[in-house]
Chain A
Amino acid sequence: MAQFLAVANRKGGVGKSTISVMLAHAFAVWGGKRVLLMDLDSQCNASLILQGGEGWLAARKAHRTIADYFLDVFDEAADNPREYLVHRVGDLRDMSGKAPALSLLPGSLLLEDAQGELYLKEARQSKDPELVSSRVRGRLERMLRRFEGSYDIVLLDCAPGLSFAALAALKTADLVLVPFRPDYVSQLAVDRVALLIESKRTGADLAEIPLDMRRYACLANAMRDTGRERNIYDEISLDHPMLASRIPMSAAIADAFDYRDTAVTIDDKYGDATPAVRGLYEEVASRLTLRLAA
C-alpha cells in the first residue's frame, strides 16, 4: 500500500510544488519506488515542471486532469480512473537510461470551480453545510486513495489556502511536509498550517502534542543562511518539528525545474544542489519508514 506524503502550507511561494517534484524525482530514481504525484494546486506548477506546457495542454484537452477526475469519479462516470494518470512523466532518466516510474495526475486551472460543483452536487442530499462539507471531503479522501494499491509513494502537492482537496490531502497524509521560507510571514504561516494539520484551535492546544508525535515536519527552503534567517529557523524550531535538511537558495535548484525535451540524469538535473536534494530524500524516506513501523 502506498504511503501518502502531502506538501502543504497556506502561504504561497514557499516552494511546495518544487519540493513535491524534487521528492517525486528522488523517490522514483534513487528509491526505485513507484511514485504518483497528484497536483492539487490550480497553479499547476508541478504539472508544468513534469510535463512541459505542451504535455499539460494535451492533458487538459483530453479532459484528463485532477478536476476531470474528481468530477467524473464523483458522478461515477469514470470507467477507468487510471486513464486520468500520465505515466513515465518528467524529463529524467535513470541509470539504465529509462524514464523512472513516476506518474502524474495533472493539475487543472478549474480545480476550485470543480470543488464548488462537487459541493453543490452533495448539497442536493442535505441542507446542513457542515455535513455537506464533511461529505465532500470524505469523498475526496477516497478519491485520493484510489490508486494506493498501485504505488509506493503518493505525493499530494497542495494548493495554498484552504480547499476541500487540500483538507482531504492533510487528512489522508501519513506525513505532511511544510516547506517555509525563513521570513516573518512564513513563520506565521507555519503556525497556522500546523493547527490545521493537527486539528487544533490554539497554539496551547498544539503544544500539548510532543514534537516527535506530530504528523508534520517543517522544511527550510531557499535558505541563504543569514543571521536573521538562522534566528527565524531557531524560533520556528521552538514550536514545530523540523527536518535537519535544509534546501539552500541555489541557482542549480531554480534551473532544475525548467522542463527539458531531452531527458537527463537526476545528478545532471540538480547539479550542485544534488547533495541537498539527496539529503532531503533520505531524511523524508527515513521518517516515512519510521511512521510505517509505528
Chain B
Amino acid sequence: MTKRTKVLSGEAARKYFRALFAADPGQTPVAASRLADTCVREIAELRVRLPVVASRTSSHATVTPAKSLTPPAVASTTPPVKTPEEPARDGAEPDPVAPQSAPAAETPPPEPAFDPFAFSLIVALRRDGPVALLARLIAIDDVARLRDIAKAQHVGIPAGADGVDAIAAAIVAGTERRVAHREAAAS
C-alpha cells in the first residue's frame, strides 16, 4: 500500500520539527528546541508521512502538574537501534544487496535517544521495591545503557561487575545506599 506523503519546507518544516521533538518525552524543551533549530538550518526540504506530526501537542510546559516530571520510561526498556554499520545481534550478516539508504518517504521515524533519566531509580525502588526495580533494569538488557543510568543517577557499580544481571543487581544495591544516605541525613 502506498503511504501518502507531503513535502515540507520553510515555516511548515519549522513547525514540523518543533512538534516532532517536543513530543519526544526523552528531550528537554531546550534540547528539543535546539534540535529543531538545527534541522531547520540544515534541511531545506523534507518529505513526511501524513498525517503530519505537527498536529500533536507538546509534552512540555512551564508549569506542570506535580504528579511526576519523569516521562514514561518507554525509551529505557527498548533495545538499542541497530545502525546499518552495526552487525545484527543475532549474528545475521547485513544484506549485501540492501540499498545504502531508503527513500525518505519509506524511512521509519528515528527512535528517541536513550534517556538515562527516563525514570528515577530511587522512586522506582521506593514505590515498587527492589525486586521490581531489578526486573525493570534487567529488561533493559543492555550493559551500556545500564551503565549510563548508573552514571547519570550517581549510583556506583563495582569494578568487577559485568553482564546485565550483575550490573542491574549492583544498581539496585547502590540505589538502596542512596536512600539510606538520605534517611541518615534527615535523622
Contact = CB atoms under 8 A, between A and B. Distances in A.
B63 A279 contact: yes
B123 A275 contact: no
Given A187-B182, A188-B186, A238-B126, A275 B63 contact: yes
B123 A234 contact: yes
Interface stretch (B49-57, B99-107, B114-122): B114-122
Contact of B187 (A202, A226, A230, A276): A202
A287 to B, nearest CB: 12
- Top 3 A-B residue pairs of the complex, sorted by shortest distance between their CB atoms: A227-B117, A191-B186, A242-B66
Contacts, number: 79
Contact of A230 (B67, B117, B154, B182): B117
A244 B64 contact: yes
A184 B122 CA distance: 13
B186 A235 contact: no
Contacts of B115: 227
Given A227-B152, A238-B123, A191 B69 contact: no
Interface string B156-187: 00000000000000000000000000110111
A195 B183 CA distance: 12
B63 A235 contact: no
Nearest to A182: B69
B83 interface: no
A232 B153 CA distance: 10
A9 to B, nearest CB: 14
Given A228-B117, A275-B63, A234 B183 contact: no
Interface string A215-258: 00000000011111111111101100011111010000000000
